[in-house]
Structure 1
Amino acid sequence: MLELFSNLFGTLEAKRPVAIVDIGSNSVRLVIYDGLGRAPTPIFNEKSLCAIGHGVATTGRLSGPGVEKAIAALRRFKTLIAIMDVEDLHVIATAAARDAANGPDFVAAASEAIGAPVTLLSGKREAELSALGVLSGFHDTDGVVADLGGGSLELIDVKGTRIGKGISLPLGGLSLMDASDQSAKAAVKITREALGKAKILDHLGGRTLYAVGGTWRALARLHMRQRNYFMSIMHGYTIPARDAADFVGLVERVINADTLIAVEAIAPARRPLLAYGAIVLDEILRRAQPKEITISAAGVREGLLFEKLDRAERRQDPLLVAAREINQMNARSPNHAEDLCEWTDEFMKSTHFDESVEEQRLRHAACLLADANWRAHPDYRSDHGLNIVANTAFMGIDHAGRSFLALTASYRYLGLDQDVHPRMRTLVSSRLLDRARLLAGAMRVAYLVSAAMADVLPRTPMVCVKNKLVLTLPNDLADLTSDRLTNRLKQLGRLIGREPAVVVAG
C-alpha cells in the first residue's frame, strides 16, 4: 500500500522543455516538447500560414506580405517561449529562405525577431532530418520518405535504422503552383520530368511511401472524412496505392477544392495546394508503384530531436517508452504493469501459441497501459481506456496496433463475449482480434488476484500444463479463490481449449 499512496499523483523525472521553430515556405510553426527523449510529447503547438515562398519560383524573391506575417509570428513565438520558460530553442529555415535572393536578409530579420540564430537547412540536410523523424516515429521502416513542403519535395530511402542519401526537388505546393502558372497540365509535366530523373524512386516498388508534410496530411484528412473513418489520429494512417491513385485523381480533377466533400476539415489557406500535392503524389505512384502510402506526423522537427539522442536511446521502442511514462504517471502501482508483462510472458510461452515480435510488443504496451484509466468511474473505464489508447499521440504504432490496444482494454472491462466496437474490429486481423480477447481474459484474472498491486503476480503464476490452465496460489493467498475467479478462468480456458484449475501450493 505504501507504493499506492506514494504514486497516486506520481510524476516522471523532471525534464526541461525544448522548442523548435520551423520556418517553412508555406507555414511558420512553433512546437514545444516536454523534453528530449525517445517519445517526446508536444505540449504547445502553433502555426501561422505565411506563404513566404509564394512567388519565389517566378520572381526569385520571398513574398513581401508573407515575410511581414512571418516576422510578426516569430515575435509572438518569442514571447510564448519566454512565458513557458524554454531555454533550449532551435530555429530552422527551409526551401524558400535558401532559394530566394532576399533569403539572407529574411534570415537575419527572422533571427532578430525570434532572438536566436536561424539555421538554414540545405535540401540534403532537410531530407536527412525528415528520414530521422520517420525513424523516430515508426518501429520498423522500409521505403522512401517523401517530405512535401511549400517550396520543395525531399526524397530519401529508409530501411530499418538506416537512411540513404537524400535529394531535394522544386516540387513544393507553392513552387509548383507558381512554376505552372496555376495550370494543372503544366504542373503534371513539370512534376513528371523532375521525378523521372529521381533514381531513388527506382527502388520504391512494393514498399512504403512515408508521407511527411502538411499538404500530405491535409489530403489524408480529406480521405479519412470521405470514408467516414472513425479514428482521427493521422500518424500511421495508411492508404493502399490503388485507393490513393483513385483518390488523388479525383482531387486533381477538381479545380475548386471547396467543392470537395468534407473539405471544411482543411484550413482554407491550404486548400489551393491540395491539387498540386495530389499531382505530385499521383506522379510518384505512376513512377514508382509503392505498395502503400503511410502518413508520418514525425518529420524534420522530430528528426532534429532524435539526432540529439545517444545511440542507446535511439534504439529504445517509442511505443513502450510512452506507455511506461503513462503508466508511471497514472497507475495505482506502476510496478504492477511490469509484473503483468512478465506474467503474461510466461502464460503465452506455456500456451505454445506462435507470437511474433510485433505481437509481443503490442501485448507489452497493453499491459503497461492497463491501469492508466483507473481513476475513471467504473461505468466508464472501458470508454476512457479506449480513448487513451486510440487517441494518444503514440509513435511506433499503426492504426491496427491502436485498435488492438483499444479492443484489449474494452474486452477487459466489458467481457470477452461482448460485441465491442465493430468498426474498430475491421482494422485488425482475425488473429490479432483473438489475441486481444486472449490478453484481456488473462488481465481479468490477473487483476482479481493482484488488486493492481505490485509483487503479487510473480507469486501467482498462471500457465498451461498439458490440457489444464493452472493458476497457482501460495498458502497465504489461498482465500483469493472465489466463484468469480473460477468463472474468469473458465472463460479464458474456453478461448484456449484448456480446463481451468486453481492449485494452492505450500
Structure 2
Amino acid sequence: MSRTKGRGRFGIVDVGSNSVRLVVYAAAERNPVLVFNEKVMAGLGRSLASTGRLDPKGIARALDALRRFMALRDQIGVETLVVAATAAVRDAEDGPEFLEKAERICGFKIDLLSGVDEARFAAQGVLSGIPEADGLVGDLGGGSLELVPVSGGKAGPGATLPLGPLRLIDLAHGSLAEAEAVVDRALGEQTWAKEHQSKRLYAVGGVWRNLARIHMAQRNYPIHVLHQYVIPAREASEISRVIEKLGPKSLAQIPDVSERRVEALPFGALVLDKLIGALKAKEVVISAYGLREGILFDRLDKKEQAKDPLIAGCHDLAGRLARFPQHGDEFFKWTEPLFADDVLAETPQEARLRHAACILADIGWYVHPDYRAHYAMTQILLAPFSGVDHPGRLFLARVGYHRHEGRGEPELLGNLSGFITEREHERALVIGLALRLAFTLSGATMGMLPRTRFDVTKSGVTLVVPKKYEALIGEIVSKRLSALARALGRKSDIRIGK
C-alpha cells in the first residue's frame, strides 16, 4: 500500500465476514480522529463453511452498503479512500465475482487482503494504539481469528484460523459443543503459540468488546472507555463461560450487549475462553485499534509513525479547545525543577504523562468557572486518546481537576483511590497546583513564564521573577505558590531577580 501524502479526510471501508463498515478520519495522522462511522451487518460469510460461497442475502446487503458508502465519500469529502476485503471474500468460491461487482460500484480496485496481510495490519493497529504491547494479538472477525505476537514495537509471524463466530456457527450447525471441538482442534495445531504463553492477550473485535462492556457493567467501572481496558484472565474466562450458557433471549436482555451481536456472542466467548486456556494468558487487554488503524498507520510517513500517540492526541485536543496550544511545552519545561531527582523524582514514563498534562492544561477555559474542573476532567477521561492506559488516563484527569479546583476530591466519579497509587495522587496534585499558579502568574499569556523559574531546596520552593514582572506578584500569586509549596512539604518564597 502506498503512502498517503494528503492531509484531507481519510476513509476506510472494511468488507468483513460479518459487517461492512465505513470509517472516516479527519486526516491520516498519528492520532486518528474519527469523524464518521457506519456499519452494516451484511453477514457475507454466514453460509461460507457449509456452501463454500458467500451468503446471497449478505451479498445484496454488502453491495447496497457500498453504494451508500461511495455516495457518503463524495458527500463528506473524503480525499483518500481504501476499500479492503478480508476472510469471507478471500475464501469464497464466488469471491472474485463479488469483487468484480463491488469494484464496479467503487470505481477502483479493492484490496483483497491475504491472511498474512490481515494478521499484520491487525497487529500493527494494536501497536499503533498500544506501542508497548507485549504478548499476543487476537483479532476475532466474523470469519477468522488472527493471532500475531507483538513485542518491542514490532509484530512477529502469526496465523489466521477459521474460528470467526459466523464460520463456527455454520460449521457446528449452531451447536456450541460441536464448535468447542473445532476450536480445540484448531488451537491445538498452533504449536508456535506455546512460545507466547503467560503473557497478555490483546483482544480486537466487536464480539470481544461486547464481553468487555458486560464486565465493566458488573464492576460498575467508572471509565466507559474500552481501549486498554484490562480484564484479569480468570475473570475473562468466567464471564465467557456464563455467556456461553445463556440463550438468545437472555443475552438480548443484557443492556450492554448489541442486538446484532447476540447470535455471535456465545461463540466468540467460547473462542476467548479456549484461547486464554491455550495461552495461559495472564490478562486480556481490549484494543479499540485493529485492522483499520493498522491500514491507516501503514499509510503514514516514517516521521508521522514515529510520533508518540498520546502526545499527538493531546496536541490535537488542545488545538481544538485551548487558547494557546503551544503553552504545553512552556509549562512542561517550567515545572521540571519540581520533579528533579531530589524533589519528586520521576521516571521517563511519568515525565511523559506530565508533558501530556501540561499540553491539556487549558482545555477548560471556555466553560463557566463553576464547571471547569469537572469539564476538564471529563474531557480527558473520554477523549479518544491512545497510548495511555486507564490509570494514566485517570492521572491526567485528576491533574485537569486540580488545575482548576486546587485541592479537594472530585465527586464526579466517586472514590478513585483503588485505581491510581498514592504517589500518583500526589504527583497529580502538584502538577495541577503548579499549572494553576502558572496561569495566574502569566495572565494566561505566552512568553512570560520562561523568564521565571523555581529554585527548590529541601525546605523551600522559591519563585524567581525578573524585576520587570515584579508588579505581577500579588496576593493570589503568593497564595497559589504557598499551596504548591505545601503540597511538596516545603515553605514558599518569592525572589525578585534582575
TM-score of the two chains, using structure 2 as the length reference: 0.95
1:459 CA drift (Å): 1.1
Other structure's SS at 2:36 match: strand
- CA separation in 2, counterparts of 1:427 and 1:261? 31
Q: 1:162 to 1:437 in 2, by over 3 A?
A: same
Answer yes or no: is the 8 Å Cα contact 1:139–1:397 preserved in 2: no
Answer yes or no: is the 8 Å Cα contact 2:131–2:153 preserved in 1: no
- Which digits, 9 at most, give the CA deviation of each residue in 1:364-417, with x for residues without a partner? 111101112211111111122112111111111111111111111112222213
Partner of 2:127: 135
Other structure's SS at 1:265 match: coil
Alignment of 1:40-119 (within 5 A): 40-119=32-111
Answer yes or no: is the 8 Å Cα contact 1:130–1:299 preserved in 2: yes
Alignment of 1:325-336 (within 5 A): 325-336=316-327
- Which digits, 9 at most, give the CA deviation of each residue in 1:250-292, with x for residues without a partner? 1112133x42496233221211111111101101111111121
Alignment of 1:444-463 (within 5 A): 444-463=436-455
1:361 matched to 2:348: no
Answer yes or no: is the 8 Å Cα contact 1:330–1:373 preserved in 2: yes
Partner of 2:187: 195
Q: Amino acid of the residue matched to residue 246 of structure 1? A: E
1:312 CA drift (Å): 2.6
Q: 1:131 to 1:231 in 2, by over 3 A?
A: same
- Which digits, 9 at most, give the CA deviation of each residue in 1:426-461, with x for residues without a partner? 321222122111211211211111122111111111
- CA separation in 2, counterparts of 1:100 and 1:287? 29
> Sequence identity of aligned pairs in percent?
40
Other structure's SS at 2:335 match: helix
Alignment of 1:353-432 (within 5 A): 353-418=344-409, 420=411, 421-432=413-424
Q: Amino acid of the residue matched to residue 48 of structure 2? A: V
Answer yes or no: is the 8 Å Cα contact 1:225–1:262 preserved in 2: no
- CA separation in 2, counterparts of 1:206 and 1:497? 42
- Which digits, 9 at most, give the CA deviation of each residue in 1:472-496, with x for residues without a partner? 1111211222332222222222222
Q: Amino acid of the residue matched to residue 264 of structure 2? A: L
- CA separation in 1, counterparts of 2:389 and 2:253? 24
- CA separation in 1, counterparts of 2:417 and 2:472? 34
- CA separation in 1, counterparts of 2:319 and 2:194? 46
Partner of 2:286: 295
Q: 1:351 to 1:493 in 2, by over 3 A?
A: farther
Of 267, 274, 295, 2:265 maps to 274
- CA separation in 2, counterparts of 1:37 and 1:318? 10
1:419 CA drift (Å): 5.1
Which consecutive residues of structure 1, in runs of 5 or more, have no partner in the other structure? Answer: 1-13
- Which digits, 9 at most, give the CA deviation of each residue in 1:227-263, with x for residues without a partner? 222222111111111111111111112133x424962
1:352 CA drift (Å): 3.4
Other structure's SS at 1:62 match: coil
Of 176, 182, 186, 1:184 maps to 176
Answer yes or no: is the 8 Å Cα contact 2:137–2:148 preserved in 1: yes
TM-score of the two chains, using structure 1 as the length reference: 0.94
1:284 matched to 2:256: no
- Which digits, 9 at most, give the CA deviation of each residue in 1:122-169, with x for residues without a partner? 111100000110111013110111000000000001112111012100
Partner of 1:4: none
Other structure's SS at 1:263 match: coil
- CA separation in 2, counterparts of 1:224 and 1:492? 36
- Which digits, 9 at most, give the CA deviation of each residue in 1:6-38, with x for residues without a partner? xxxxxxxx9311111000000000011111111
Q: Amino acid of the residue matched to residue 274 of structure 1? A: L
Other structure's SS at 1:264 match: coil
Partner of 1:348: 339
Which consecutive residues of structure 2, in runs of 5 or more, have no partner in the other structure? Answer: 1-5
Partner of 1:319: 310
More displaced 10-residue stretch of structure 1: 297-306 or 480-489: 480-489
- CA separation in 2, counterparts of 1:218 and 1:418? 32
Other structure's SS at 2:136 match: strand
Answer yes or no: is the 8 Å Cα contact 2:233–2:276 preserved in 1: yes
Answer yes or no: is the 8 Å Cα contact 2:454–2:461 preserved in 1: yes
- CA separation in 1, counterparts of 2:330 and 2:21? 42
Q: Amino acid of the residue matched to residue 335 of structure 2? A: T
Q: 1:423 to 1:149 in 2, by over 3 A?
A: farther
Q: 1:438 to 1:151 in 2, by over 3 A?
A: same
Other structure's SS at 1:286 match: helix
- CA separation in 1, counterparts of 2:445 and 2:42? 53
- CA separation in 1, counterparts of 2:103 and 2:421? 51
Alignment of 1:27-42 (within 5 A): 27-42=19-34
